[in-house]
């Protein structure tokens, strides 16, 4: 029975720092990594993510051909390329995984898959994927509204998945839930600003630099908090080490949210100096996460190396930001602006997702075959999914790691050496195409419910 299940309670202070996801498994007499048979990443989200990853690979190949001068460029394709990763992969996987992850971590009831939410998100994404490159304003307004509606629906869902009050809150293990909620609030703001970029409502809202405001809300806010939440939930399950305690998690959540908030307000108001305290808080929180949750994974092999290296590509640009803000026009604008967001997206976000998403998917994978309905849920609920066949493992391989390291290096070289910009970018996009194709393959290879039924 699914509805109303409770987390296994901690039996000691040390045990209390072990996340509910592992305690529940142990209480059932399973190894810490054994899957909960009633959890899953709904198949529609997985397959849509596969589709967008494959489309992203084709868009990256197109960019490589543009770089070599073999085909003419099209301004709208830059948007498409970036958002196939940020919306097509990151948002899609977040929508698919978060309800299951939160249920695992809080020990609460598992929400059923909502086909309506999948439809809202994907109708919105497809409308934007057509509307933005064509600069078709009604489609942009509609697409943005649908994505925002789906996001608000997910926020309400996660909000309802509150953990049961624990007897000793002081030693309660941290869960990623509040990180996810904060991340999604940033997505609402970032999505609103992004939708308005072509509709021109920036000045009406007093936004001084709308494009930066949008990027800051989504990268420093949405993506960073989402990844932090995944780390909080996954790191202990991956290494069987105690995770972050409540206090440390509160510190990370507070600093990251406030830092990202200041980084959002700075371009919104035109008060650039706000970026300095913002980035300081952001760096402190990320360094703490790195020290406590990422570094201890190092013995786990190439997936951990991928995660370690990817985080350098958010920490390095973050450290450079004060120099850019203080250095003014000399350092910033013309050369950094077109490439900087791509370095963050393909150097940090994509590799971190490549490492964490398969682990998250396997953690919430479902061992039961399709067709089971959660108690208290609607009978028409679609219950498809995959199941885990071993301990959750970080994604990645030696080849993926090498490619992930060279993509941001080549993009950075295109800033530093303008004469090499075209071949460097082409190299980066060929590698990116390979990475996205490999990501699509990884997601496709998650075991099918039919296999689960057979074993």
**Residues binding ligand HEM (CB under 6 A):** 78-79, 82-83, 86-87, 90-91, 128, 132, 144, 147, 187, 190-191, 194-195, 197-198, 211, 214-215, 218-219, 222-223, 341-342, 345
- Whether the CB-CB separation of 356 and 223 falls below 8 Å is answered with no
Nearer to ligand HEM, 18 or 226 (CB): 226
Nearer to ligand HEM, 74 or 399 (CB): 74
- Whether the CB-CB separation of 306 and 355 falls below 8 Å is answered with yes
| Least distance in angstroms from the C-beta of 79 to ligand HEM | 5
Which token pair is 282?
């952001």
Nearer to ligand HEM, 108 or 190 (CB): 190
Nearer to ligand HEM, 125 or 307 (CB): 125
| Least distance in angstroms from the C-beta of 76 to ligand HEM | 8
For residue 237, give the nearest of 40, 32, 10 by alpha carbon.
32
HSE, CB side, 13 Å, CA atoms: give it for residue 167.
8
Nearer to ligand HEM, 151 or 309 (CB): 151
| Least distance in angstroms from the C-beta of 124 to ligand HEM | 7
| Least distance in angstroms from the C-beta of 416 to ligand HEM | 18
Sign of CA dihedral 189, 121, 377, 369: negative
Q: What is the H or E stretch that residue 63 is in? A: helix 43-67
| Least distance in angstroms from the C-beta of 69 to ligand HEM | 20
- Residue the block writes with tokens 């809300």: 217
Nearer to ligand HEM, 67 or 144 (CB): 144
- Whether the CB-CB separation of 296 and 238 falls below 8 Å is answered with no
| Least distance in angstroms from the C-beta of 119 to ligand HEM | 16
The set of residues, in sequence order, having a beta carbon less than 8 Å from that of 119 and lying 6+ positions away, is none
Nearer to ligand HEM, 189 or 365 (CB): 189
For residue 49, give the nearest of 91, 89, 82 by alpha carbon.
89
Task: State the Cα torsion 213-217-220-222 to the nearest 10°.
Answer: -160
| Least distance in angstroms from the C-beta of 175 to ligand HEM | 22
Nearer to ligand HEM, 87 or 304 (CB): 87
For residue 191, give the nearest of 208, 209, 206, 213 by alpha carbon.
213
For residue 366, give the nearest of 34, 124, 88, 29 by alpha carbon.
34
Nearer to ligand HEM, 20 or 90 (CB): 90
Which residue is at the shortest CB distance from ligand HEM? 194
| Least distance in angstroms from the C-beta of 307 to ligand HEM | 18
| Least distance in angstroms from the C-beta of 226 to ligand HEM | 8
The set of residues, in sequence order, having a beta carbon less than 8 Å from that of 78 and lying 6+ positions away, is none
| Least distance in angstroms from the C-beta of 383 to ligand HEM | 28
Nearer to ligand HEM, 50 or 63 (CB): 63
| Least distance in angstroms from the C-beta of 139 to ligand HEM | 11
- DSSP letter for each residue of 272-291: GGGHHHHHHHHHHHHHHHII
CA distance 118 to 150: 8
Please, which residues bridge with residue 87 across strands?
none
- Whether the CB-CB separation of 154 and 95 falls below 8 Å is answered with yes
HSE, CB side, 13 Å, CA atoms: give it for residue 300.
28
CA distance 260 to 279: 8
Q: How many residues does the chain have?
A: 455
Nearer to ligand HEM, 227 or 238 (CB): 227
């Amino acid at each position: 029975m699914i509805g109303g299940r409770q987390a296994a309670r901690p039996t000691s202070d040390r045990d209390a720092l072990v996340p509910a996801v592992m305690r529940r498994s142990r209480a059932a007499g399973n190894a810490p990594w054994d899957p909960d048979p009633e959890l899953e990443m709904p198949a529609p989200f997985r397959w849509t993510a596969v589709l967008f990853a494959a489309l992203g690979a084709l868009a990256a190949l197109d960019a490589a051909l543009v770089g070599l001068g073999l085909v003419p460029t099209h301004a709208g394709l830059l948007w498409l390329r970036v958002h196939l990763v940020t919306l097509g992969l990151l948002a899609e996987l977040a929508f698919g995984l978060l309800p299951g992850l939160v249920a695992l971590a809080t020990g609460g009831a598992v929400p059923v898959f909502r086909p309506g939410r999948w439809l809202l998100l994907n109708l919105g994404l497809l409308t934007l994927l057509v509307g933005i490159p064509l600069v078709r304003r009604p489609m942009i307004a509609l697409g943005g509204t649908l994505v925002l509606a789906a996001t608000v629906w997910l926020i309400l869902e996660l909000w309802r998945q509150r953990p049961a009050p624990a007897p000793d809150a002081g030693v309660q293990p941290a869960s990623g839930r509040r990180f996810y909620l904060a991340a999604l609030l940033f997505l609402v703001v970032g999505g609103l600003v992004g939708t308005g970029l072509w509709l021109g409502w920036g000045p009406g809202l007093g936004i001084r630099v709308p494009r930066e405001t949008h990027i800051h809300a989504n990268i420093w806010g949405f993506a960073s908090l989402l990844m932090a939440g995944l780390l909080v939930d996954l790191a202990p399950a991956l290494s069987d080490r105690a995770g972050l305690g409540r206090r440390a998690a509160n510190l990370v959540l507070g600093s990251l949210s406030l830092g990202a908030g200041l980084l959002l307000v700075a371009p919104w108001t035109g008060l650039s100096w706000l970026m300095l305290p913002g980035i300081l808080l952001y760096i402190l929180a990320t360094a703490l996460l790195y020290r406590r949750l990422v570094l201890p994974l190092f013995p786990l092999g190439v997936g951990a190396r991928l995660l370690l290296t990817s985080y350098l590509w958010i920490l390095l640009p973050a450290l450079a930001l004060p120099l850019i803000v203080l250095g003014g026009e000399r350092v910033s604008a013309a050369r950094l602006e077109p490439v900087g967001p791509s370095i963050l997206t393909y150097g940090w976000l994509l590799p971190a997702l490549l490492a964490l998403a398969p682990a998250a998917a396997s953690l919430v994978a479902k061992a039961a075959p399709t067709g089971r309905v959660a108690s208290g849920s609607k009978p028409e609920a679609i219950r498809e999914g995959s199941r885990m066949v071993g301990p959750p493992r970080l994604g990645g391989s030696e080849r993926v790691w090498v490619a992930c390291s060279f993509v941001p290096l080549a993009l950075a070289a295109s800033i530093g050496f303008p004469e090499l910009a075209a071949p460097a970018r082409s190299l980066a996009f060929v590698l990116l195409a390979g990475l996205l194709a490999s990501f699509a393959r990884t997601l496709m290879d998650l075991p099918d419910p039919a296999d689960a039924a057979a074993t």
